Amino acid sequence: MRIRFCLAALALVGGAGLTTLSAPAATAAACSDIDVVAARGTFEPGTLGAIVGDPVYSALQRKLTGKSLSSYKVNYPADLSLTSAAQGNSDLVNHVRGQATACPNQRFVLVGYSQGANVVDNSIGISSAGAVVGSPIVATIPAALEGRVAAVLLFGNPIRAIGKSVTGTYQSRTIDFCAKGDPICENGGGDVLAHLGYTANAAAAADFAATKV
């Protein structure tokens, strides 16, 4: 219960002190080159997510100047309910499947912060069950579409605190940021504010994605 209270406190602190960056409406425009699919953290404000999704999308726009981008905000509660991450998992996979059918040449960059990282983990076949605000896998991106996922960008990923990480098919396409002392992704971490600092990693995440698209 203490770690769940910590998550709520993080959200309240972050919501009170953040300046939301400008980002386009979270909708996948017709057949852009890259669709950025972002799962926000627990109670995180912003269009795609004020701490991670919005600044990462802006950084990708600056970095990927030769490609058209669209964005999609994963539709899920992002709260402390037991089914929250599972709902996000289902929505993310459904969105990718639908877009892949409508836009045969479109590729995807998946972005997940905190609970949103659990959503992405599950969607690429890495169960977040047992992690903070995690859940069992309810859907995975089909094998036929795995090659369409160009990059996976994770921040404050709760599965790391239980000794797990992204392995297998997506490992080489994944960058997973965990700030020193972040209690959500580091077992024994005690720096609550570390979980709110991932905006600083937006440019590095965009640089990584640029090598994969």
The yes-or-no answer on residue 114 being catalytic is: yes
Rounded to a whole number of angstroms, the CA Rg of the chain reads 15
SS3 (DSSP) at 70: strand
Query: What are the residues whose beta carbons fall under 8 Å from the beta carbon of 136, sequence distance 6 or more?
Result: 86, 122, 127, 129
- Alpha helix positions (H), the chain: 2-17, 53-63, 84-102, 115-123, 202-210
The yes-or-no answer on residue 195 being catalytic is: yes
Which one is catalytic: 114, 123, 128, 135? Answer: 114
Q: Which among 138, 11, 5 is positioned nearest to 83, based on CA atoms? A: 138
CA distance 20 to 179: 21
The yes-or-no answer on residue 207 being catalytic is: no
Residues known to be catalytic: 114, 182, 195
